[in-house]
């Protein structure tokens, strides 16, 4: 096994935690280290319930010695303090079950586990109390070479809250997520209603409502729906440990929101529906290739993030999907750059320098806003999640992400509002009058 890939598994544990009951299925896998769960933030009353079943061990024909059950086991690693120790042991090819800094849970040598291996019991259950709070992940270590194993596992991580010890399946610092999403849902529902009212009023005056305005209404409506799904999803996860179908509502809303979001950016950036009633070939290529790819990557990131990292090449796929997402975000800037270039050339050649320069300034503002938005939501928010993952303020990263979207939508709505004083609409009207 490539040591760099193993190192990537450990480093990937520093990512954001997904708080829910996790199911891991390992089949004929001989990796010396398998991350079973994504990091979970425990408080002072943290607990883990583990159900293990369908255990099988294979010894390859080129192996001379018999295996020892004590060389297969699970341990709990505090990501913040033990990651360096795990990395050193991995690179030295030592058995991680002998590492003192790690909390060993159990091995296959446990009599209850042996009963499952021998077929005398259907499964085995363990309960672990995490007394010291922190960001932990469950790992499986295989200290036998050329010995694949298979097993199925259910891991329920939670904190006890309140005097009656109610189970809270959200990671520490994420208990405020449902409240945050309800607040953001209310704010986006408000701006959706405000935008719909604006379009209704504008339709009665001078016909200044364009096709792009209706796309913007659909965009903010689906964004509102995604926030509703997230609010309900985290509320249910906090109490039951799984979303119970709300994740599918989120997937569907995210699909349409992603399609509309990048379509609106590209169409506004190229002046469609404002200064030209057609889509040029370059813009059409971006819409047909980049946008579906980006939407696929965004939804795949969400679905992959909900899967157990025990899946082989899980980290590789997560990194590839994030790279595709960032690449697509950068690609949508090219049509805007082309429009700015054409406007710059027009300001020097077509005798309409004043109007072309005004258009150029407006497009530059929009371009800068899109660049700042992409940088903040893809890089700054990521760094916030990394630094706040194991704190009471882990929810702040998600709040910053949603506030960035809110600010972006409000700015674009104000700049592109369908009224006579809008500079974009004014420029469009001037061109119509010049042709007449």
Return the domain boundaries, the chain.
3-168, 177-435
Handedness of CA 156, 162, 166, 171 (dihedral sign): negative
Least confident of 222-236, 248-262, 331-345: 331-345
The predicted model gives 398-406 an average pLDDT of: 94
User: Which of 211 and 8 is assigned the larger pLDDT?
Assistant: 211
Least confident of 244-253, 267-276, 352-361, 385-394: 352-361
The pTM score is 0.78
pLDDT above 50 for 1 = no
Q: How many CB atoms lie within 10 A of CB 323?
A: 11
Q: How many CB atoms lie within 10 A of CB 335?
A: 26
Distance separating alpha carbons of residues 377 and 372, to the nearest angstrom: 9
User: Which of 49 and 304 is assigned the larger pLDDT?
Assistant: 49
Percent of the chain with pLDDT strictly greater than 70: 77
Distance separating alpha carbons of residues 296 and 291, to the nearest angstrom: 9
Handedness of CA 262, 307, 406, 320 (dihedral sign): negative
pLDDT above 80 for 196 = yes
The predicted model gives 151-177 an average pLDDT of: 88
133-142 pLDDT, tens per residue?
788 889 999 9
pLDDT above 80 for 187 = yes
pLDDT above 70 for 17 = no
- Tracing tokens 């449902």 back to the chain, one arrives at 178
User: Which of 51 and 313 is assigned the larger pLDDT?
Assistant: 51
- Pair type for strands 22-29 and 149-161: antiparallel
Confidence class for position 21, pLDDT limits 50, 70, 90: confident
Write the Ramachandran bin of 2: left for phi over 0, alpha for psi from -120 to 50, otherwise beta. Answer: beta
Into which CATH architecture does domain 177-435 fall? Up-down Bundle (1.20)
The predicted model gives 427-434 an average pLDDT of: 46
CA angle centred on 193, ends 189 and 199, rounded to 5°: 145
Confidence class for position 312, pLDDT limits 50, 70, 90: confident
77 CA to centre of own chain: 23
Non-local (6+) Cβ contacts of 80 within 8 A are 134, 135, 390
**Closest among 389, 215, 401, 433 to 298, alpha carbons compared:** 401
Find the DSSP H helices in 270-388. 281-306, 314-331, 333-349, 353-375, 381-388
pLDDT above 80 for 147 = yes
Confidence class for position 8, pLDDT limits 50, 70, 90: very low
The pLDDT value given to residue 280:
66
Handedness of CA 137, 143, 148, 149 (dihedral sign): negative
Least confident of 58-62, 208-212, 333-337: 58-62
**Closest among 39, 35, 111, 42 to 74, alpha carbons compared:** 35
pLDDT above 60 for 247 = yes
């Amino acid at each position: 096994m490539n040591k760099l890939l193993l190192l990537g598994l450990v480093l990937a544990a520093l990512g954001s935690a997904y708080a829910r009951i996790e199911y891991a299925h390992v089949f004929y896998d001989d990796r010396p280290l398998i991350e079973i769960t994504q990091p979970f933030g425990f408080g002072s009353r943290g607990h883990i319930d583990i159900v293990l079943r369908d255990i099988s061990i294979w010894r390859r024909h080129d192996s001379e010695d018999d295996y020892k059950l004590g060389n297969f086991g699970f341990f709990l690693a505090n990501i913040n303090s033990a990651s360096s120790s795990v990395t050193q042991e991995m690179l030295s090819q030592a058995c991680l079950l002998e590492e003192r800094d790690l909390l060993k849970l159990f091995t296959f040598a446990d009599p209850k586990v042996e009963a499952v291996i021998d077929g005398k019991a259907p499964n085995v259950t363990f309960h672990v109390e995490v007394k010291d709070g922190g960001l932990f992940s469950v790992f499986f270590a295989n200290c036998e070479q050329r010995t694949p194993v298979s097993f199925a596992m259910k891991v329920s991580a939670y904190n006890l809250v309140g005097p009656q010890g109610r189970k809270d399946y959200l990671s520490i610092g994420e208990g405020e997520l449902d409240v945050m999403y309800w607040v953001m849902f209310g704010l986006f529902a408000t701006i959706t209603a405000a935008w719909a009212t604006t379009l209704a009023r504008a339709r009665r005056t001078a016909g200044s409502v364009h096709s792009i305005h209706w796309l913007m209404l659909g965009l903010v409506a689906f964004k509102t729906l995604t926030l509703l799904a997230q609010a309900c999803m985290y509320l249910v996860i906090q109490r039951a440990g799984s979303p119970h179908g709300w994740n599918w509502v989120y997937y569907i809303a995210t699909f349409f929101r992603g399609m509309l979001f990048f379509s609106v950016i590209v169409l506004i950036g190229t002046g469609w529906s404002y200064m030209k009633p057609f889509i040029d070939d370059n813009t059409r290529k971006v819409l047909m290739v980049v946008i579906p790819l980006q939407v696929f990557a965004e939804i795949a990131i969400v679905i992959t993030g909900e899967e157990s990292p025990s899946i082989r090449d899980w980290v590789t796929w997560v990194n590839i999907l994030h790279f595709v997402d960032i690449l697509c975000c950068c690609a949508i800037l090219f049509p805007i750059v082309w429009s700015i270039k054409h406007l710059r050339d027009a300001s020097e050649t077509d005798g309409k320098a004043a109007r072309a320069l005004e258009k150029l300034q407006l497009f530059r503002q929009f371009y800068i806003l899109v660049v700042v938005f992409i940088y903040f939501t893809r890089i700054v928010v990521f760094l916030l999640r990394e630094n706040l993952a194991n704190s009471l303020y882990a929810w702040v990263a998600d709040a910053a992400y949603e506030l960035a979207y809110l600010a972006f939508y409000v700015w674009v709505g104000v700049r592109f509002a369908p009224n006579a004083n809008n500079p974009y609409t004014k420029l469009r009207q001037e061109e119509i009058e010049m042709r007449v």
